[in-house]
Chains A and B, each alone.
Chain A
């Protein structure tokens, strides 16, 4: 029970991070491998804001979100739009964007290393116990989970109920046809990419309240987010949430019962299972 709750609490934040990546890959078609660095940058921001001005991370995210949105929007317009324009096929865009975002990821790590050094950073925010279902957990974990649920819920409603959300889902399904019904694919793709970055950065700010991060941990989160997105199905919000919770539970299970050093191995076992048995994702339909 203890494992289940801890896993779900962790999975909630994972869902938020993976949601950001899913927006970027599912709609803007950019496999963003610098996603983890955006997350760590969000974490650094929350860390600095908290240690310098005692600003609560819950308020910091309202600063992190627009900043990350602006940064990702800039990245998309300057670096990724040219790749989208020159790509002759989906495959070419994929390998180009993979290489370009690898570059961004290394530059991100390099910049953060030279500004903040290679040390781990953490701060003590709301490290008081709360009782959930008979066991105690850190209040920061519970609060992060609640925030993640709120943001994921808002995104889900927005994507499924609003007109803009409908357009975005249309681009995710078939970009070529979306243009035919009068959707501005270019502008909306850029918007969705930036939104995805903002969501990930907020996830980073939240996760920094209870996990220790350092400049080069980004890639681990990128990898986990990728596994969640593939497992949940590209462009599928519901699948992402379920997959994130499953990964959170599995990781906690392995960390408590076997060894905390094996969490990535656990994620990989899950990834392998998906690749072998359901490559279209948990709720995906088989391609005809």
Chain B
């Protein structure tokens, strides 16, 4: 692997940004750290979402399902195993689950995939509720000595790993294959790319990451029950944030996560009943006003400026 000067500069800048973010818990331990955890969580989820959905244009709504599975891994294993191993196990289970979903649906057209993932969280929730009802168990307590700052650092580490993976995929054969698939799937298939295999492989990434995020955040909930762990709204929030920022660039989702987190925070504390309405409007804004997200908008502005200078 050869690194150009810009590559090295970008890596150093990214590492510096990460180091600055890691200092947050030293400054504040209350409101801002809480917000930091939320932003770190959505950055991780939205960026990994965009790694799959950006090039393939497949809208995945499975985030909540994987996330919930991850919280349950922590909930069930916290008394028996160390925390880090639970995060790893959650990642493994998430990847396997994503591979199964991918194998069933990604050979077919995108609509089947959307529909299947739409109900996935509800499906897993119903199954877990049923098992709990039959075994007489209700919820799970997660008691650890991991505090908010610890959760924040874990998430930050995961986010850094996601960015690094995304950057490496972009440079790999798989990344190239995916860009061809995104442009024209027929062309990709004719030039010898195994399209189904590439898509399934890539879909395992957001699956694993969402499950790991769930596993890391479980201690924050303290008490886990199915309707909390598998709240379907999470999947939609992730889609909106990623598309609002723009799924075509690695850093795109981050640009969407930060303003939308603040917006949701403001709406839910002032008008708690109107969050669904805000999410609905956000979808329409993305489709009608910002089809390429903020990244696309920026591209258009730059393009126009360049054109003017040239003329």
**Which applies to chain A's interface (DSSP): helix, strand, loop or mixed?**
helix
How far is B110's CA from A272's CA once the two chains are assembled, in angstroms? 15
Task: Flag whether B112 is at the interface (Cβ < 8 A).
Answer: yes
Instruction: Assess whether B110 is in contact with A105, with CB atoms less than 8 Å apart.
Output: no
Instruction: Assess whether A103 is in contact with B281, with CB atoms less than 8 Å apart.
Output: yes
Instruction: Assess whether B283 is in contact with A102, with CB atoms less than 8 Å apart.
Output: yes
Which of B77-85, B119-127, B197-205, B301-309 contacts its partner?
B119-127
Mark contacts of A249-271 with chain B using CB atoms, 8 A cut-off: 1 yes-contact digit, 0 otherwise.
Answer: 00000000011011011011001
Of A31, A216, A227, A259, the contact of B133 (CB 8 Å cutoff): A259
Instruction: Assess whether A223 is in contact with B280, with CB atoms less than 8 Å apart.
Output: no
Which among B118, B287, B288 has the greatest number of chain A C-beta atoms within 10 A? B287
Which among B59, B104, B115, B273 has the greatest number of chain A C-beta atoms within 10 A? B115
**Which applies to chain B's interface (DSSP): helix, strand, loop or mixed?**
helix
Instruction: Assess whether B115 is in contact with A227, with CB atoms less than 8 Å apart.
Output: yes
**Which residues 90-116 of A sit at the B interface, judged by CB distance below 8 A?**
91, 94-96, 98-100, 102-111, 113-114
Q: A96-B287, A264-B123 are in contact. Are A275 and B108 (CB under 8 A)?
A: yes
Instruction: Assess whether B277 is in contact with A114, with CB atoms less than 8 Å apart.
Output: yes
**Which residues 46-82 of A sit at the B interface, judged by CB distance below 8 A?**
79, 82
Instruction: Assess whether B123 is in contact with A98, with CB atoms less than 8 Å apart.
Output: no
Of A107, A226, A261, A276, the contact of B280 (CB 8 Å cutoff): A107
Measured between beta carbons, the chain A residues less than 8 angstroms from B274 are 110, 114
Question: How many residues of A are in contact with the other chain, CB < 8 A?
Answer: 44
How far is B111's CA from A94's CA once the two chains are assembled, in angstroms? 8
How far is B280's CA from A223's CA once the two chains are assembled, in angstroms? 18
How far is B243's CA from A230's CA once the two chains are assembled, in angstroms? 27
Task: Flag whether B114 is at the interface (Cβ < 8 A).
Answer: yes
Instruction: Assess whether B122 is in contact with A94, with CB atoms less than 8 Å apart.
Output: no
Task: Flag whether A151 is at the interface (Cβ < 8 A).
Answer: no
Instruction: Assess whether B280 is in contact with A106, with CB atoms less than 8 Å apart.
Output: yes
Closest-CB distance, A2 to chain B (whole angstroms):
23
Closest-CB distance, B102 to chain A (whole angstroms):
12
Task: Flag whether A138 is at the interface (Cβ < 8 A).
Answer: no
Task: Flag whether B167 is at the interface (Cβ < 8 A).
Answer: no
Measured between beta carbons, the chain B residues less than 8 angstroms from A108 are 280
By beta carbon, the residue of chain A nearest B124 is: A265
**Which residues 80-129 of B sit at the A interface, judged by CB distance below 8 A?**
104-105, 108, 110-112, 114-116, 118-119, 122-123, 126-127, 129
**Which residues 197-225 of A sit at the B interface, judged by CB distance below 8 A?**
216, 219-220, 223
Instruction: Assess whether B243 is in contact with A262, with CB atoms less than 8 Å apart.
Output: no
How far is B281's CA from A226's CA once the two chains are assembled, in angstroms? 24
Question: How many residues of B are in contact with the other chain, CB < 8 A?
Answer: 39
Q: A227-B115, A275-B116 are in contact. Are A107 and B123 (CB under 8 A)?
A: no
Measured between beta carbons, the chain B residues less than 8 angstroms from A219 are 118, 232
How far is B292's CA from A75's CA once the two chains are assembled, in angstroms? 23
Measured between beta carbons, the chain B residues less than 8 angstroms from A102 are 236, 280, 283
Of B112, B122, B279, B281, the contact of A279 (CB 8 Å cutoff): B112
Task: Flag whether A183 is at the interface (Cβ < 8 A).
Answer: no
By beta carbon, the residue of chain B nearest A259 is: B130
Measured between beta carbons, the chain A residues less than 8 angstroms from B18 are none
Of A107, A114, A230, A268, the contact of B273 (CB 8 Å cutoff): A114
Measured between beta carbons, the chain A residues less than 8 angstroms from B9 are none
Task: Flag whether B282 is at the interface (Cβ < 8 A).
Answer: yes
What are 7 A-B contacts defined by CB distance under 8 Å? Answer: A91-B57, A99-B243, A102-B236, A107-B276, A219-B232, A264-B122, A264-B123
- Enumerate chain B interface residues (CB-CB to A < 8 A): 57, 59, 104-105, 108, 110-112, 114-116, 118-119, 122-123, 126-127, 129-130, 133, 232, 236, 243, 273-284, 286-288, 291
- Enumerate chain A interface residues (CB-CB to B < 8 A): 31, 33, 79, 82-83, 91, 94-96, 98-100, 102-111, 113-114, 216, 219-220, 223, 226-227, 230, 258-259, 261-262, 264-265, 267-268, 271-272, 275-276, 279
Extra contacts, 8 of them, besides A100-B288, A219-B232, A268-B119 (Cβ < 8 A), are A99-B283, A105-B280, A108-B280, A109-B276, A113-B276, A262-B127, A264-B119, A275-B108
